[in-house]
Structure 1
């Protein structure tokens, strides 16, 4: 490898590593922020807006993982109690894992989709948070679609690009945009970063209530 190529590659690799570490730190901090919001009963909903959950299809699965994580801690502690150093490490890892699962659950509960005076804010998991203003939105319709497993979030058909924030491969609301609109997804290109999309599809637990809230503003 030439000196010039090494100089060009090293900063790029270091930059990617830095971005990855920064993203991991943000996710970790959001875990604890979600727990704090849950304890203080302060969901991330702007004044005048209504929140709509999207967690119902995965709620049972999340609770199963949380219960298993909680049960696992004393069992592993009993197995490794003769080795203090291992015991401390395993205990710390178990508590961290349980905390992480609780933070993920509370993220679904405390960071819902919202409909309000500023527009529609669509969310997914710990990172995705996209505000679509009413000026950007052409129409909102209740339209169920089931995609194939592992279908990319952004798909293109007939020259239009669609962002799909699915829940178990399903969406029930289609938000058609006035023009190609930039949205930012977690991570770096090609899958993350900024993308231009023509419509957005999301899952909502209460599509009837969601559409009623939309009609108050659109």
Structure 2
């Protein structure tokens, strides 16, 4: 995790909310330009946004229809028309930004670390040596009793990969207090590829 990310995680809630808002617009820019955050030499990205894409596009379609309809209905009242139009366009940008953040901020694996993320809301950096075990495991959100030592980063109400850690790691979400977890249940579009990337190399 970069120094900037760490500072953001220690900042008061108001500043974290502003950083989150800024991240939405930055993510839109990265999405348009086809760039991914955190990738580089020796780093491999693993996406997780595919499962939620159909839902997000459906919401975007509804938002567009609502924007057009309200714009037509409120034309006789310019002030109300402008206020509602700005709010609708902001909502539309927010929906697109949520999907853009998921697309442009994949899980990242390199030789020393694994970075587990879900959009702009969660970003956990874990040393590879701290990963005791990794396995493909389909879990439906809310289908099991809550585990206080586990972090569930479901996408479209499911996770597909489970990581077991040697020691608890600190997680600071944008909303809510920090917590320490020993297990992470995450989603990946290609779970087998993520498991293979994190599996220990076979001994000679």
Choose the corresponding residue for 2:106, options 109, 112, 119: 112
Structure 2 residue 202 is the aligned partner of structure 1 residue 214: no
Q: 1:183 to 1:24 in 2, by over 3 A?
A: closer
Q: 1:89 is matched with which residue?
A: 83
Q: 1:4 is matched with which residue?
A: none
Q: 1:11 is matched with which residue?
A: none
Task: Answer yes or no: is the 8 Å Cα contact 1:116–1:217 preserved in 2.
Answer: no
Q: 2:169 is matched with which residue?
A: 181
Structure 2 distance, partners of 1:50, 1:78, is: 47
In the TM superposition, what is the alpha-carbon distance from 1:147 to its structure 2 partner?
A: 4.1
Q: 2:69 is matched with which residue?
A: 75
Structure 2 distance, partners of 1:62, 1:142, is: 25
Q: 1:81 to 1:168 in 2, by over 3 A?
A: same
Q: 2:25 is matched with which residue?
A: 32
Q: Bigger radius of gyration, 1 or 2?
A: 1
Structure 1 distance, partners of 2:195, 2:93, is: 35
Structure 2 residue 155 is the aligned partner of structure 1 residue 167: yes
In the TM superposition, what is the alpha-carbon distance from 1:46 to its structure 2 partner?
A: 2.7
In the TM superposition, what is the alpha-carbon distance from 1:24 to its structure 2 partner?
A: 2.3
Structure 1 distance, partners of 2:84, 2:175, is: 30
Runs of 4+ in 1 over 3 A off after TM superposition: 149-152, 215-218
In the TM superposition, what is the alpha-carbon distance from 1:206 to its structure 2 partner?
A: 0.5
DSSP 3-state at the match of 1:28: helix
In the TM superposition, what is the alpha-carbon distance from 1:182 to its structure 2 partner?
A: 2.4
DSSP 3-state at the match of 1:187: coil
Structure 2 distance, partners of 1:147, 1:70, is: 29
Q: 1:49 to 1:102 in 2, by over 3 A?
A: same
Q: 1:199 is matched with which residue?
A: 183
Structure 2 distance, partners of 1:127, 1:164, is: 12
Structure 2 distance, partners of 1:100, 1:122, is: 22
DSSP 3-state at the match of 1:205: coil
In the TM superposition, what is the alpha-carbon distance from 1:208 to its structure 2 partner?
A: 1.4
Structure 2, unaligned stretches of length 5 or more?
A: 1-10
- The CA deviation string for residues 163-211 of structure 1, in whole angstroms up to 9 with x for no partner, is 12122432221111112232322333xxx31x22222111111111112
Structure 2 distance, partners of 1:196, 1:120, is: 17
Aligned length: 191
RMSD between superposed Cα atoms in Å:
2.2
